[in-house]
Structure 1
């Protein structure tokens, strides 16, 4: 994929793409490289990032045009990956300013949006820790099987036995007592929160800009309607993530 040349302070940012793309990016990583190259004041590849303006997907679609090498589906996937990264969620703090494609300040992050980002970050880190724990357990199990196989009859190598020397200092021997192993406490399981009753969103209320709740997983999340093509509706979560869902999955905020 062709990467655009860096934009300097004397060059108008994003008046048009720095360099046309010869072919469509093959994956999300290449789409993100395309965005960071052509919109460097908005999308940041390394270091601290800035929260994106609400409605950034529509701005991107309008700026790139219908004949863009990057499709709308690829843009949605790239935005979902970008806004769910730990760097992005850590930057979504109350009072922080969102930015548009040209790096200009937009709306500020409110307390609800910051709380939602912190919740997503904690859940993501917990899942990563659980996966890491599972990998460690699998490695230990594999190592134990390897040792057992080496010690099995016919596979073990002969080992020279050495006669233990008598301990001339019995007092020192009495001190070498292993400390008792502390019992591992089971994690406290918190009771599940009471289910929230949701009111279905009527089709006539499903309009661009409407504040709604979209149910993802076990809990509803606040979002804003950005595109309506019934029965499909595109919404943007407060974290900046853009998703496409159905109208019957939306509820009154």
Structure 2
């Protein structure tokens, strides 16, 4: 029993078609001819018993053949289409000729753009690898010792002895804050801190 290897790519199939139907398919520098519309169906019937190629492969190879620049160049208005045996039939319509011209133009533009892109990438000098600076660990500064203000010379203020514009210290948070008395009310004292903020506190929260 004869074992035949199946074709594995479009190039092999197109070469096979050129050999089987030389009046229809051409290769190399030979001018191509517009193919008859519906040629695939005829081709499938003729190669029905050909085990080396499937219909799917045949369709793919035929598409590649008709999208080649050599073929698109030949699809011009009034040029007659041919069948598998090279017999001329209908002429290429204006619509099909324009479509072929458009496809050819787009294909060439895409090919030239890719070629230019590849050329530019080769011309670009290779960048030297960036030097990575490994940061050195900064020595932690010794924690500053909190300066505790000597409050031994101050005493708690009383409502009666406070006067407007008197310098006082307000007991806020951990450390007393310097300020000036701006208003003395019945129960509270309004003090403007050195920061500009004004607070209202009891006299017992002030030291003088």
Q: TM-score range by the shorter chain?
A: 0.5 to 0.7
Q: Please point out which of 25, 28, 36 is paired with 2:7.
A: 25
1:112 maps onto 2:95 in alignment: yes
Q: 5+ unaligned residues in a row in structure 2: which ranges?
A: 129-208
Q: Could you tell me how far 1:69 is from its partner in structure 2?
A: 2.1
Q: Could you tell me how far 1:42 is from its partner in structure 2?
A: 0.5
Q: Which residue of structure 2 aligns with residue 59 of structure 1?
A: 42
- The CA RMSD measured in Å over matched residues stands at 1.9
TM-score, structure 1 length as denominator? Answer: 0.48
CA distance in 1 between partners of 2:43 and 2:64 (Å): 16
Secondary structure of the residue that 1:107 maps to in structure 2? Answer: strand
1:76 maps onto 2:59 in alignment: yes
Secondary structure of the residue that 1:101 maps to in structure 2? Answer: coil
Q: Which residue of structure 1 aligns with residue 69 of structure 2?
A: 86
Q: Please point out which of 48, 55, 66 is paired with 2:31.
A: 48
**CA deviation digits over 1:201-251, x for unaligned, max 9?**
xxxxxxxxxxxxxxxxxxxxxxxxxxxxxxxxxxxxxxxxxxxxxxxxxxx
Using CA pairs under 8 Å that are at least 6 residues apart, name the structure with larger relative contact order, 1 or 2.
Answer: 1
**CA deviation digits over 1:74-107, x for unaligned, max 9?**
1000001000000110100001111100011021
CA distance in 2 between partners of 1:138 and 1:72 (Å): 40
Whether the aligned pair in 2 keeps the contact of 1:98 and 1:106 (CA below 8 Å) is yes
1:1-253 equivalence runs, <5 A: 22-46=4-28, 47-141=30-124, 144-145=125-126
Q: Which residue of structure 1 aligns with residue 179 of structure 2?
A: none
Change (3 A) 1:109 1:102: same
Secondary structure of the residue that 1:42 maps to in structure 2? Answer: coil
Bigger Rg, which one? 2
Whether the aligned pair in 2 keeps the contact of 1:21 and 1:69 (CA below 8 Å) is no
Secondary structure of the residue that 2:76 maps to in structure 1? Answer: coil
Query: After TM superposition, which residue ranges in structure 1, 4 or more long, deviate above 4 angstroms?
Result: none
CA distance in 2 between partners of 1:69 and 1:103 (Å): 24
Q: 5+ unaligned residues in a row in structure 1: which ranges?
A: 1-19, 150-253
Aligned residues: 127
CA distance in 2 between partners of 1:70 and 1:106 (Å): 27
